[in-house]
Amino acid sequence: MTNFSLWVLLPPLLGFIILGVLGSLMPRGGILAIGWGACGLAFLFAIFDFFSVLNAPASSGHVSDLVIYNWMTAGSFKLDFGLLLDPLTATMLLVVTGVGLLIHIYSAGYMEDDPGFWRFFAFLNFFIFAMVMLVTADNFLFLLVGWGLVGLASFLLIGFWYERSTAVAAARKALVINVIGDFGLMLAIFLIFMHYGRLDYLGVFGNVGAVANGSGTATAIGLLLFVACAAKSAQLPLYMWLPDAMEGPTPVSALIHAATMVTAGVYLVARANPLFENAPVALGVVAGIGGATALFAATIAIFQLDIKRVLAYSTISQLGYMFMGEGAHNYTSGIFHLTTHAYFKALLFLGAGAVIHSLAGEQDMRKMGGLWSRLPITAWTFLIAALAISGIFPFAGFWSKDDILSSVLAYAMTSGNPWVYILWGVGLLTVLLTAFYMFRLFFGIFMGNYRGVAASATVHDEDDEEPASGGGHHGGAVSYYDIHEAPRVMTVPLLILGALSIIGGIFGSFAIFGATKWHPLENFLSTVTGFSAVHVPVATIGIDWTSTAISLVLALIGIFFAWRLYGRGFQYKENTSPLYQLVLHKYYVDEILTAVLIRPVLALSRGATRFLERDTLDGGARGVAFVFRGSSAGLRRLQTGYMRNYALAIMLGVVLIVLYYAVRG
Amino acid sequence: MPLPAYLTVSAIMFTIGALGVLIRRNPLIIFMSIELMLNAVNLSFVAFSTFLDSADGQMFVFLVLTVAAAEVVVGLALIVSIFRTRRNIDVDDMNVLRG
């Protein structure tokens, strides 16, 4: 089978270099041609890759490892820069480049008036390159390279509007937390190298038994890998950076912090599934953390007022779902939910971006409302996405979410472990909460009356000219009649993603309708997820029906409550009950961290500045200077400047030398 | 005359020259003292040359004379230059190198 991965990898890199070097000199059209072209080419070759895997002869095992060059050889250890193409990579490539391309297109409208237009596209191309690197690497070391590069891309794009101090702080926070994850990944790689003596996936996974199943080492490897995944995919307790990452431009939130980069952790768990199967404790932690995060983030999302923050917490919650599914040994369900989530979450963010764009940078839900008739395309696609994420039949989220929930239930019944039943319950509760907060958001934005500053009072008395609604980074009130639908370059990606959010689920499981053999994605991924011989519980039809029916009913209840409360528009009431305040302030996690971690570290640093830097290091240098100055103060008296003194000294010296030789004889 | 007589005269001349260098404050006199020391050495060279019946000492004398001439040229030039800038050539006033 032919491996086109190099051609997926190179165009975004070239695009980044060209835009980065010449972008500031180029006209708009040129920037778009290169930015879109690079991503489009990558997508084209990702499609080639996909069909190449799909049509590969069974004898190849649907795996192709293309070695580009030998990076290093040391004794028996050999490390290549190679591109692995297998079903998992092909799926990820399609998601990354496909959603990436749509967001490239959308950005042309969203970032239209931004002075950093070329810089934005250069960074976007760089991100695509880094992400492709991450998913195509054929060994852990180059995975780490991709891992680090996507973190860098994320840092650059969160801090894109670097004049804002909040954006810079958010970028720094994201980078620091991501580096914690990178560190975990590095330690895991060291352990893998120590015990397997190699780093290529195929070699390690093929020989996974070299570390005894369930041993401390296997668990340590699994947990360290999961530290990396938790940091990248914003799981407890390393999730804090993702809500703050919303400081970046909205297309960035859609692409990096919802659709693709944050799913890298889900990808890694699926990729390293033999290692996780080898460490049941670590896999249990994955499931537990996933469930806890799903519920925790969903509760926060309920009370947020900034529309992008609601979506950010929703992303964290959905990522928790993916880990939950993977923790229940069903890796396909995690990847499946990753794919469908990429569609509808990108759609939600882009829709939110269109709303923000039309309101000239307003993100507060209290100042929205009644936009249904002003922004029809955005509203319809947003509704589709909200239905999809709530898991309503037959939208994409329904299939993937219920795949996860039913496999968790199946796992609970096979293992008989009460904790897994609790996990399932948590998943169902989260379904209710998800439906509620998504429709709270939907009704808040699109229903009721417009609550902007210039709301109903003005009757379109000002001139018809559209206010300067730029890249959504300068807030301001827009009067209701000046709100316009976004340009076509922004609505077309919305429509495409809307279509995908409707039909994107058909690749999943039709098992609920009795078609037990209909598992295209699972069959496709079986060479990856079926690597180890550990028993994966398959949900039977009965279980599927039970779980699905309950979750569907819960989702409908959630929507109903949201409609009862907010159906006629969002009314914000100041609520002082401590529980409400607790959740509104995100459980004060940031404040606690500031008090517990950041303040002490800063105090320690200040102490170090005072005692180590100033007193010890500077003091030492000054001490040396002091000693020399003191000793020279005595010696300088010898330099009288009188010539006769020097002459006398010379003469005395000569006399002494002569005397010495005279005495010695 | 025997050799020790020449050497005695040479030593006396050298001592006078050395004391002159150390004591006098006028650079011209100091130069003359230096010349005196050089010529004391020359005298001992010539005395040894005769005593040892060898021309080597006299060759050294020529060398010393040449160097002394060159040295005086440079020295006088320096003194003139210093006088032009400072209007004063007292060596004890030239102490800018004092530590």
CA A295 to chain centre: 19
| Conformational region of residue A63, where left means phi above 0, alpha means psi within -120 to 50, and beta covers everything else | beta
Judged against a pLDDT cut of 80, whether residue A540 lies above it is answered with no
Could you tell me if A592 lies within 8 Å of chain B, comparing CB atoms?
A: no
A633 close contact with B: CB closer than 8 A: no
Residue showing tokens 């004898």: A59
Task: Give chain B's domains with CATH numbers.
Answer: 3-93 (1.10.287.3510)
Cβ–Cβ under 8 Å, residues A301 and A556: no
Is there a cis peptide before residue A394, judged by omega within 30 degrees of 0?
A: yes
Cβ-count burial A349-387 (b if 16+ within 10 Å, e if not): bbbbbbbbbbbbebbebebbbbbbebbebbbbbbbbbbb
Q: Is the pLDDT of residue B87 over 50?
A: yes
| A372 three-state secondary structure | coil
How far is Cα A550 from Cα A208, in angstroms, rounded to an integer?
39
Q: What share of chain A is helix, strand, coil (3-state, %, to 5)?
A: 75, 5, 25
Compare all CA atoms of chain B with the CA of A633 and give the residue at the minimum distance: B99
Average pLDDT, integer, range A368-383:
85
Distance CA(A428)–CA(A555), nearest Å, equals 9
Q: In terms of pLDDT, which residue wins out, A537 or A305?
A: A305
What is the helix (H) or strand (E) element at residue A80, kind and residue range? strand A77-85
In whole angstroms, what is the distance from residue A586 CA to residue B39 CA? 101
CB contact under 8 A, A643 and B23: no
Best mutation target among A643, A645, A652, A658 (most B Cβ atoms within 10 Å) is A643
Q: How many Cβ atoms sit within 10 Å of the Cβ of residue A24? A: 14
Residues in chain A within 8 Å Cβ distance of B17: none
pLDDT digits (tens, 9 = 90+) for B54-84: 888 899 999 999 999 999 999 999 989 988 9
Across the interface, do A640 and B99 touch by the CB < 8 Å criterion?
Answer: yes
Going A121 to A122 to A123 to A128, the CA torsion angle's sign is positive
Contact status, residue A345 vs residue A409, Cβ threshold 8 Å: no
Shortest distance between the Cα of B46 and any Cα of chain A, in A, equals 22
Chain A residues whose beta carbon lies within 8 Å of the beta carbon of residue B92: 642-644
- The arithmetic mean of pLDDT across residues A144-163, rounded, is 91
**Collapsing DSSP states into helix, strand and coil, what is residue A421?**
helix
- Are residues A641 and B23, on separate chains, in Cβ contact within 8 Å? no
Q: How far apart are CA B96 and CA A205, in angstroms?
A: 82
Q: Which residues contact B10 (CB under 8 A, 6 or more apart)?
A: B40, B41, B43, B44, B47
Query: What does the pLDDT look like over A545-600, one tens digit per residue?
Result: 788 888 889 989 988 888 888 877 777 666 767 777 777 777 777 778 777 878 88
- What are A124-139's pLDDT values in tens digits? 999 999 999 999 998 8
Structure tokens at A73: 């050889």
- Is the predicted pLDDT of residue A440 greater than 50, yes or no? yes
Tell whether the model's pLDDT for residue A475 goes beyond 50.
Answer: no
DSSP string, A431-485: HHHHHHHHHHHHHHHHSS---STTTTT--S-S-SPPP---SS-S-----GGG--P
Nearest CB to B99; choose among A638, A648, A651: A638
Q: Give tens-digit pLDDT for A221-247.
A: 999 999 999 999 988 888 888 888 888
Count of C-beta atoms within a 10 Å radius of residue A274: 21
* Angle B72-B78-B81 from CA coordinates, rounded to 5°: 140
CA separation for the pair A520, A499 (Å, rounded): 20
Cβ <8 Å between A639 and B97: yes
pLDDT, tens digit, 9 for 90 and up, residues A29-57: 888 899 899 999 999 999 998 888 888 87
Mean pLDDT of B47-51: 92
> What ipTM describes this predicted complex?
0.83
DSSP A260: S
**What's residue A112's pLDDT?**
82
Do A640 and B95 make contact, defined as CB atoms within 8 angstroms?
yes
Q: What is residue A259's DSSP assignment?
A: I
| CB spacing of B95 vs A635 below 8 angstroms | no
For residue B31, give the 3-state DSSP assignment: helix
Nearest to A642 among B18, B23, B95 (CB): B95
> Mean pLDDT over residues A414-429, rounded?
88
Q: B94 and A643 in contact by Cβ < 8 A?
A: yes
What local confidence, expressed as pLDDT, does residue B39 receive?
94
Residue pair A340/A396 in contact by the 8 Å Cβ criterion: yes
> What is d(CA A126, CA B18) in angstroms, rounded to the nearest whole number?
83
d(CA B5, CA A648): 27
Q: Tokens 């190449």 — which residue?
A: A52
| The residue type at B30 | I
Higher-scoring residue by pLDDT: A665, A436: A436
Exposure pattern of A442-478 as b/e (b: 16+ CB <10 Å)?
bbbbbbbebbbeeeeeeeeeeeeeeeebbbbbeeeeb
Q: How confident is the model at residue A462, as a pLDDT?
A: 40
Chain A residue with the nearest C-alpha to that of B23 = A644
Predicted local distance difference test score (pLDDT) of residue A519: 66
- The stretch A188-205 carries a mean pLDDT of 89
Put simply, the answer to whether A639 touches B99 (Cβ < 8 Å) is yes
3-state helix, strand, coil in chain B (%, to 5): 80, 0, 20
Q: Assess B21–A contact: CB distance below 8 Å, yes or no.
A: yes
Lowest mean pLDDT of A93-102, A531-540, A652-661, name the range: A531-540
pTM over 0.80? The answer is no
Per the listing, tokens 């839900």 go with A365
Q: CA–CA distance from A190 to each of A144, A229, A317 (Å)?
A: 12, 17, 31
Supply the mean pLDDT for chain A: 84
Percent over 70 (pLDDT), chain A: 91
Per-residue pLDDT, A460: 42
pLDDT greater than 90 at residue A11: yes
- Would you say A379 and A446 are in contact if contact means Cβ atoms under 8 Å apart? yes
The answer to whether the Cα torsion of A594, A287, A316, A43 is positive or negative is positive
What is the distance, to the nearest Å, from the Cα of residue A7 to the centroid of all Cα atoms in its chain? 24
Q: Taking the CB of residue A535, how many other CB atoms lie within 10 A of it?
A: 9
Residue A474 has pLDDT above 50, yes or no: no
For the record, the structure tokens of A191 come out as: 């352990």
Closest partner residue to A641 among B22, B23, B97, by Cβ? B97
Instruction: For residue A513, name the pLDDT band (cuts at 50, 70, 90).
Output: low
Which percentage of chain A shows pLDDT scores above 90? 25
Does A639 touch chain B if contact means CB atoms closer than 8 Å? yes
What pLDDT sits at residue B38? 93
Whether A59 and chain B come into contact, CB under 8 Å, resolves to no
Residue A467 confidence (pLDDT) above 50: no
User: Could you tell me if A201 and A194 are in contact, meaning their C-beta atoms sit under 8 angstroms apart?
Assistant: no
Least confident window among A243-247, A660-664, B91-95: B91-95
Min Cα–Cα distance to chain A from B21, Å: 7
pLDDT of res. A539? 60
Enumerate the H helices of A304-330 as residue ranges: 307-327
Alpha carbon distance A241, A234 (integer Å): 7
